[in-house]
Amino acid sequence: MADDAGRRYVRFTRSAGERIGRAVVGFEKQSAPASPLVYDHQTPAIPANTKVFQTGTFTGAWGIESTKVINLRSGGTLSVENFIATFPDSGSKKIGVAKDGTGWFLVCVQHIAQDVVYDVVQTSTALRFDRMQVWVPAKVTTSPVIIGLAECVTGYTG
């Protein structure tokens, strides 16, 4: 580690002292303030009027890894790519899209509440279906499970 100069004198050659003096005087005589530092790899500024996120709606089915024309909330339409999921035709859905480079991509879909059976309990008098609500991006319809009355009675072991 270098020692602090403290009260010791620092010696320069005459030419080095004159060179330092000229640099200080030149700097002090500048009328305009010094320009800011500039770095080679600056992040380009995004103009205030550039849209990188938009909201809109779509209708009809929309398959994963496909493109669909959506209606923008601000008016107009936009071609958007979907890499999230396949959506069945369930009416109009609100969505959010974002721009990456020159393309627009689906990033958010309006979710809906759907009841889901998570437990089935058979008692001596009834068959109870416990349900809870979950948030899903599209209403899901599956084939019903049918349990006959005879199976409920004969299957009871309690």
Would strands 112-122 and 77-82 be described as parallel, antiparallel, or unpaired?
Answer: unpaired
pLDDT digits (tens, 9 = 90+) for 122-149: 777 777 888 888 777 666 666 666 666 6
Q: Which residues partner with 79 through β-bridges? A: 69
Question: What pLDDT score was predicted for residue 57?
Answer: 93
**Encoded tokens for 42:** 């600056």
Q: Based on the domain organization, do 74 and 100 belong to the same domain?
A: yes
**CB-CB neighbours of 87 under 10 Å:** 21
Selected residue with higher pLDDT from 37 and 81 = 81
Residue 76 has pLDDT above 60, yes or no: yes
Task: Residue 89: name the closest of 109, 62, 123, 124 by CA.
Answer: 62
Task: Residue 50: name the closest of 93, 87, 13, 99 by CA.
Answer: 99
Residue 102 confidence class, pLDDT cut points 50, 70, 90:
confident
Q: For residue 48, is it within any domain?
A: no
Euclidean distance between CA atoms 150 and 24, whole angstroms: 102
Q: For residue 6, is it within any domain?
A: no
Q: Which residues partner with 131 through β-bridges? A: 117
Q: For residue 117, is it within any domain?
A: yes
Residue 107 confidence class, pLDDT cut points 50, 70, 90:
very high
Q: Based on the domain organization, do 105 and 118 belong to the same domain?
A: no
The domain containing residue 91 runs over which residues?
53-110
For residue 122, the one-letter residue type is: Q
* CATH code for the domain of 106: 2.40.50
Q: For residue 15, is it within any domain?
A: no
Residue 114 has pLDDT above 80, yes or no: no
Selected residue with higher pLDDT from 118 and 141 = 118
Q: For residue 136, is it within any domain?
A: yes
Q: For residue 87, is it within any domain?
A: yes
Looking at the structure of the chain, the number of domains it has is 2
Cα maximum dimension of the chain: 112
**Encoded tokens for 139:** 């209403």
pTM over 0.75: no
